[in-house]
Amino acid sequence: MQIVIFTGGLSPKPEDTENYFNSKKIDFVIAADSGIDTLKIFNDFYEEKFQPNFILGDMDSIEDKSLLAKYPNASVEEFPRDKDYTDTELALVKAKDISSDYKNEKISVTLIGGAGGRIDHLLGIYDTFSTKFHADVWLYEKQALYFIKKNDSIKIKNLNEKDNVSISRINGKRKGGSLKSKGLEWECKLFRKEGMPSISNRISYKCLSKKEPVEINVKSGSFMIIVPIASSVEITSRKKEK
């Protein structure tokens, strides 16, 4: 099951997300405040593929409030401006609530937008990945961020010679976790023991020449893999070790 959240701030160009969305069936769509403006841009490109089930937030940032009337079947939830959660966090909580009704299905949450603007909002979104209310994929302005945890494997395809691949720890700490990599210019043995394990890494010449994907396996901990938004990514989960 695929849940898509549109939030405010800068977002990727819809055409740069075709590799990601063309093979996906969208089950639920949530627009967080001015995320409805972003949703309109995507619907113009994808011919109304994203029909919102929920529109929520304090509604203080929507540029064109007439958009609310465009989606009469959406449930609109308006919150006070003074609150403990950002509109993006409210949308993530809503996605978690939806997921609880489909416990026997594999749920994937994609967050679109949130780039630029206030750094506290940016850090707030990033901080959600250390909580149970987080997206699985964050489509940023020009990059895509994939959450992977213990026993997950990620394959990254369609990388060019100068494309960056970065890795961040997601555990509330600056150290810990273990990774195994294949196909990077500098592999896991050279990763940093504290902070971000690898910044601005890239596909190895050997892997590029053979048109093989970069592969990263998580042995322990949880991480964010940051890649160009136009790359193709496949994530699989191994059976938990006994």
Same domain, 120 and 7: yes
Q: Copy the structure tokens of residue 238.
A: 């191994």
Based on the domain organization, do 60 and 81 belong to the same domain?
Answer: yes
Domain-ending residue, one of 90, 116, 141: 141
How much is the pLDDT for 240?
Answer: 59
Under DSSP, is residue 12 helix (H, G, I), strand (E, B) or coil? coil
Q: Are residues 28 and 105 in the same domain?
A: yes
- Sequence-distant (6+) residues with CB within 8 A of 151 are 218, 237, 238, 239, 240, 241
Q: Are the C-beta atoms of residues 24 and 136 closer than 8 Å to each other?
A: no
Residues 155 and 137 in one domain: no
In a domain, 242, yes or no: no
Q: Which domain holds residue 174?
A: 148-237
Whether 44 maps to a domain, the answer reads yes
56 and 122, same domain (yes or no): yes
Statement to judge: residues 198 and 224 lie in one domain:
yes
Query: What is the helix (H) or strand (E) element at residue 54, kind and residue range?
Result: strand 54-57
Output the tens digit of pLDDT for each of the chain's 242 residues: 999 999 988 999 999 999 899 888 999 999 998 899 999 999 999 999 999 999 998 887 777 778 888 899 999 998 877 777 889 999 999 999 999 888 888 899 999 999 887 888 888 889 999 888 899 999 999 999 999 999 999 999 999 999 999 999 987 778 899 999 999 999 999 999 999 999 999 999 999 999 999 999 999 999 999 999 999 999 999 765 54
Q: Which of 107, 123, 141 is the last residue of a domain?
A: 141
- The total of other beta-carbon atoms located within 10 Å of residue 72's CB is 7
Contacts of 69 (CB under 8 A, 6+ apart): none
Work out whether the CA dihedral 8, 49, 30, 136 comes out positive or negative: negative
Beta strands, E only, 58-209: 75-78, 108-112, 137-139, 143-149, 152-157, 165-169, 178-182, 198-201
| Count of domains forming the chain | 2
Q: Are residues 132 and 186 in the same domain?
A: no
Find the CATH number of the domain harbouring 221: 2.60.120
3-state DSSP percent of the chain in helix, strand and coil, to 5: 25, 35, 45
Rounded Cα distance between 157 and 163, Å, is 11
Identify the pLDDT of residue 242: 47
What are residue 167's phi and psi, to 5 degrees? -130, 135
Contact 169/177 with Cβ under 8 angstroms? yes
CA distances for 191 relative to 19, 86, 114, 175, 212, angstroms: 29, 34, 28, 11, 21
